[in-house]
Amino acid sequence: MSRALSLHIGLIALLFALQFVLPAYHHGNLARIMVLAVYAMGYNVMFGYTGLLSLGHAMFFAAGMYGMGLPMRLWELSAGPAFLLGVLAAGLLALLVGLLALRTIGVAFMIVTLMFSQALFLLILYFNPVTRGDEGFVLPQASRQMLGFDLSDAGIRYMAALSLFAVCLMAVYRLVRSPTGRVLIAIRENEDRARMLGYDTWRHKLLAVVVSGTICGAAGAAYGLLFGTVGASFADVPFSILALLYVLLGGPGTVIGPFIGTLFMFYLRDLSGAVTDAHMLVAGVVLIGLTLYARRGIMGVIRERWAPWLP
Amino acid sequence: MEFGPHLILAILEGLVQASVLTLTALGLSLVFGVMRVVNVAHGEFFMLGAVFAYGVASTLGGAPAVGFVAALIVAPLLVGLLAVVSDWLVLRRLDYDPERTIVATIGMLYVIQQVTLMTFGPDARPVEPPFNQRIAIPWFEFTEAGLEFYFPWGLSTTSYKLFVVAAAVLAGLGLWALMARSRLGLVLRATQLDRETALAFGIPVERVYAFVFGLGAALAALGAVLVVPVRQAHYLMGHDPLLLSFIVVIIGGLGSLRGTVLAAILIGMSDGIISVFFSPTLAKILATLLVAMVLVYRPQGLFGAKPA
């Protein structure tokens, strides 16, 4: 087993072991962090590996969340199929957005993704009778059952979050080390050169968008199921920025960076809550600090200094 | 109210909205045009304009007109200075790299917004307009006696709203004169056309950038001071102007000031009219989708020329 593989499997094992020793408060936090880290990992596939900066990833998270939650609320679909439906909805949305947005590059791409995401957010508000708009809705505990497990139980919730996290972590690990992943990195470094070498860069970028959107959708659907809430704030601009923040802090283009970034940011917010209610202030300061002084993020610096083998 | 008077009312409201939007969007467009920087914190400069206007008006006290005139001068100046400082502290150090400046201005957005929340507080606060006469507007109908004029209930505007429109037109003309007729405008346009050559001709590009960033923010603040007597100062009020300015700047063609003005009038009016007859949310959904489609299929904007 290579160093890189053992590191990632070790992280999963560590997270598995932690559930037996952590106090209840941090146990709950970590379950939430793992689901949010999946969201950040999805974002990282596009931003960190392919070099596509999106400002609208909340739309994929929300597509997963509402794609799962609405059928449960309206037609009393059971949790398993609803989860799959949410992932599917996010994947299809990503395909559509990718087909349109990838016709643009650079600043225009960021704004197009921002606008699509904003349109979805406003649509959720507009269809207030169906989606309950701003307030969102709660999924009743009785409906949150999957394969005979009660997802609202803290222990099972932790394991469910860990399973999703582990699957996505290993999937991204495999992807970025595969030939396809190498092409994505080549596109990030120099798209013209990759095209000149004969790679269909457009198709690869579309693949990155769809994979990224699907992972984010899975995170959204899981978040709704595990924590029982579906709300419009998960579709709003600040939630898109949060993914960017997690990845920038943890290290864009590293497999475990998004998890590290989510972990740090979550607790930074938690700790700053004691000082001020204005919790986005920390996010703002960290964003400016990162762009000014630490572009590579935590894992990026570690890779540069000590561990060049880090994927 | 019948359809006709209702439409007039919608157009009047749209006109006020379009005027303020023109100023705000011109600021964004100027910054993008000259510096190639997408300033996501632009809406917060707008908000700061309104908050400073409240601060100036409430500390001065006395007649509303005195406070308002003082705010009209002081608020844009203060906001402009703040923008210059943030340019020197942050954007200059990023070498104006497009992606990094976007991320940094997102950070600035949150810092400004949250600091305002911590100091100014979460309440919406009003600024009194300097004058505010109600002006009733006549409408006509055909009766057996022929054409008759009457004043429908609810169809009116205020002198202050008309002043907002006039002031925006004046400020717009002022900006045009600055860009097209002054030496400073020449320097700005030269920097916009070709940064390297401008640098070679001894234009202090960094100082030009700082000035433009300040001017863009001051324009947004001016728009906010004008609108704050109609709406109220609130720490989240920068959100909508930011979104609408983005829409305007993109539809008008990135960096084209003339396109920006045309698009601001179009978007401001149609947003006002759709908001009156349908729902504001629907108006915004249509506008955001329009923007996305314009960027995808006509990146030079609806009014911009195709690049050669």
> Could you tell me the sign of the dihedral formed by the alpha carbons of B247, B253, B256, B261, in that order?
negative
Residues 6+ apart with CB under 8 A from B73: none
Instruction: Detail the DSSP E strand segments found in A154-305.
Output: 229-230
**What average pLDDT does chain B have?**
84
Tell me the C-alpha distance between A275 and A296, whole Å: 28
Which residues in chain B touch residue A280, judged by CB atoms under 8 angstroms apart?
110, 113-114
Structure tokens at A285: 């300061």
Q: At what angle do helices B280-297 and B257-277 cross, to 10 degrees?
A: 150
User: 3-class DSSP state for residue B272?
Assistant: helix
- Give the pLDDT confidence score for residue A236 in this predicted structure: 87
* Cβ contacts from A onto B, under 8 A: 116
Quick check: A299 contacting B, CB < 8 Å? no
| Shortest alpha-carbon distance between residue B183 and chain A (Å) | 31
Higher pLDDT, B303 or B277: B277
Q: Is pLDDT above 80 for B304?
A: no
Q: How confident is the model at residue B255 (pLDDT cuts 50, 70, 90)?
A: low
Q: Is pLDDT above 50 for A106?
A: yes
Task: With beta carbons less than 8 A apart as the criterion, state whether B263 and B251 touch.
Answer: yes
Tell me the C-alpha distance between A104 and B299, whole Å: 8
Could B107 and A285 be called an inter-chain contact, meaning their C-beta atoms sit closer than 8 Å?
A: yes
B199 burial type by CB count under 10 A (0-12 exposed, 13-18 middle, 19+ buried) = middle
Could B111 and A281 be called an inter-chain contact, meaning their C-beta atoms sit closer than 8 Å?
A: yes
Stretch A252-256: mean pLDDT: 88
Q: Is pLDDT above 80 for A141?
A: no
Tell me the C-alpha distance between A238 and B41, whole Å: 13
Q: How confident is the model at residue A212 (pLDDT cuts 50, 70, 90)?
A: very high
Could B107 and A291 be called an inter-chain contact, meaning their C-beta atoms sit closer than 8 Å?
A: yes
Task: With beta carbons less than 8 A apart as the criterion, state whether B259 and B252 touch.
Answer: yes
Cα B266 → chain centroid: 14
Task: With beta carbons less than 8 A apart as the criterion, state whether B211 and B84 touch.
Answer: yes
Query: For A57-87, what is each residue's pLDDT tens digit?
Result: 999 999 999 999 888 888 888 888 899 999 9
Tell me the C-alpha distance between B112 and B44, whole Å: 7
Could A281 and B114 be called an inter-chain contact, meaning their C-beta atoms sit closer than 8 Å?
A: yes
For chain A positions 274-293, those within 8 Å of chain B (CB to CB) are: 276-281, 283-292
Q: Kindly state the percentage of chain B with pLDDT values over 90.
A: 21
Tell me the C-alpha distance between A93 and B158, whole Å: 46
Residue of B13, B229, B104, B279 whose CA lies nearest to A123 = B279
Structure tokens at A208: 């990155």
Which residues in chain A touch residue B109, judged by CB atoms under 8 angstroms apart?
284
Residue A225, CB-side half-sphere exposure with 13 Å CA sphere: 36
Q: What is the CA angle B124-B126-B130, rounded to 5? A: 165
Structure tokens at A242: 């949060």
Residue of B7, B57, B65, B17 whose CA lies nearest to B161 = B17
Q: How confident is the model at residue B308 (pLDDT cuts 50, 70, 90)?
A: very low
- Give the pLDDT confidence score for residue B305 in this predicted structure: 56
Kindly report which listed range (A267-271, B96-100, B155-159, B169-173) carries the lowest average pLDDT score.
B155-159
Which residues in chain A touch residue B282, judged by CB atoms under 8 angstroms apart?
126
Residue of B75, B93, B8, B58 whose CA lies nearest to B219 = B75
Q: Is pLDDT above 70 for B306?
A: no
CA nearest to A275 within chain B: B118
- Give the pLDDT confidence score for residue B214 in this predicted structure: 94
Which residues in chain A touch residue B106, judged by CB atoms under 8 angstroms apart?
241, 244, 284, 287
Pairing status of strand A229-230 against strand A137-138: antiparallel
Q: Kindly state the percentage of chain A with pLDDT values over 70.
A: 98
Residues 6+ apart with CB under 8 A from B74: B52, B56
Q: Is pLDDT above 70 for B130?
A: yes
Instruction: Report the residue of A54, A111, A277 to disrupt the B interface, i.e. the one with the largest count of B CBs within 10 Å.
Output: A111
Quick check: A241 contacting B, CB < 8 Å? yes
The one-letter code for the residue type at B102 is I
Q: How far apart are the first and last CA of chain A?
A: 14
Quick check: A100 contacting B, CB < 8 Å? yes
Which residues in chain B touch residue A125, judged by CB atoms under 8 angstroms apart?
281
Could B114 and A284 be called an inter-chain contact, meaning their C-beta atoms sit closer than 8 Å?
A: yes
- Give the pLDDT confidence score for residue A209 in this predicted structure: 94
CA nearest to A117 within chain B: B288
- Give the pLDDT confidence score for residue A216 in this predicted structure: 95
Query: For B9-26, what is each residue's pLDDT tens digit?
Result: 788 888 888 899 999 999
Tell me the C-alpha distance between B185 and B12, whole Å: 33
Q: How confident is the model at residue A165 (pLDDT cuts 50, 70, 90)?
A: very high
Stretch B276-293: mean pLDDT: 80
- Give the pLDDT confidence score for residue B307 in this predicted structure: 47
Residues 6+ apart with CB under 8 A from B27: B42, B45, B215, B216, B217, B218, B219, B220, B223, B245
Residues in chain B: 308
Kindly report which listed range (A26-35, A147-156, B135-144, B245-254) carries the lowest average pLDDT score.
B135-144
Tell me the C-alpha distance between B118 and A302, whole Å: 36
Task: With beta carbons less than 8 A apart as the criterion, state whether A81 and A225 touch.
Answer: no
- The model carries a pTM of 0.84
- Give the pLDDT confidence score for residue B154 in this predicted structure: 67
Residue of A226, A82, A61 whose CA lies nearest to A141 = A226
Residue of A55, A113, A102, A109 whose CA lies nearest to A200 = A102
Stretch B48-69: mean pLDDT: 85
Tokens 């070099």: give the residue: A51
**Nearest residue, CB atoms, B285 vs list A103, A112, A119:** A119
